Amino acid sequence: MSDTLAISNSELIFALLLLTINKEKRMSIEHPHLAFEQHEQSLKDKVILVTGAGDGIGRQAALTFAECGAVVILLGKTVSKLESVYDEIVANGGLQPSIVPLDLKGATLQHYNGLADTIASEYGRLDGILFNASVLGNLCPFGQIKEEEFDDVMQVNLRSQFLMIKALLPVLSLSESASVVFTTSSVGRKGRSFWGTYAVSKFATEGMMQTLADEYRNSKKRFNCINPGATRTNMRAKAFPAEDKDTLKTPAQIMSTYVYLMADVSRGVNGESLDCQPK
């Protein structure tokens, strides 16, 4: 009797194993970005701007893009953090990056026009932008959102993207294949109580991406969103202070989707919103 049970247990384990393998296979067919294997030539000589490159996911994306052969333009608020990413890229043998210290809260179209001119004269084109920088703002009941805070979050998370894309479209047009990636969130697809301004800014980000993707659908430019999902960063810790962070993916573990969207392999992908951690 116990032997029979032992056999059926191992059969069960085998069946579960098969199910897992099939699930992995199915995931890689449904989500090719998850199966994408980056290497040192994946982004060879591409010129890519990363916002919020000093910390969290942006920091890792900058390092990974450089490992994949890109020249990375590091934009962010805290200069010391950008310098540390710069040093790490150079120490790893990556192409020399550039640093653009800029607080998105106070930046104007003039700053972004200056950035566009500098990129055009330094590199002759821009092949990619990762719009990654964001702030969470306060999580609170909608009626308690302060007007000034609403404006600040919208300025950093949304308006800066509008101004930057407006200024950088001409230099993106100089690329043979340009990829613009916006960062969204699950609360940018389905509203959630207390996530107030942050959620609204992410819905609007998805809208901006879709509008651009449709407008430029017959061009050499593509526009997509990426949803990193729960990832071990300061922002996540601020939103979920009681959470065990060891249960979360690290930024390094979600990079395949980032490189996939920047690489030429995703040339035909436009107007999509991809999940790094689909449920």
Contact positions toward ligand NAP, by CB under 6 A?
52, 54-58, 76-78, 81, 103-105, 132-135, 156, 183, 185, 228, 230-231, 233-236
Of the pair 57, 164, the CB lying nearest ligand NAP is at 57
Please tell me which residue in 86, 112, 198, 260 is annotated as part of the active site.
Answer: 198
Q: Which residue has the tokens 């980056």?
A: 38
Of the pair 84, 177, the CB lying nearest ligand NAP is at 84
For ligand NAP, the nearest residue by Cβ is 56
| d(C-alpha 65, C-alpha 235), whole Å | 22
Of the pair 14, 240, the CB lying nearest ligand NAP is at 240
- Establish whether 86 is a catalytic residue: no
- R_g of the chain, CA atoms, integer Å: 21
Q: Are 225 and 270 in contact (CB under 8 A)?
A: no
| d(C-alpha 197, C-alpha 193), whole Å | 11
Least distance (Å) between residue 141 CB and ligand NAP: 21
| d(C-alpha 14, C-alpha 9), whole Å | 9
Q: Which residue has the tokens 């962070």?
A: 245
Least distance (Å) between residue 55 CB and ligand NAP: 4
Least distance (Å) between residue 10 CB and ligand NAP: 39
Q: Are 86 and 97 in contact (CB under 8 A)?
A: yes
Least distance (Å) between residue 131 CB and ligand NAP: 8
Report strand pairing: 273-275 vs 47-51.
unpaired
Of the pair 175, 254, the CB lying nearest ligand NAP is at 254
Which positions are annotated as active-site residues? 198
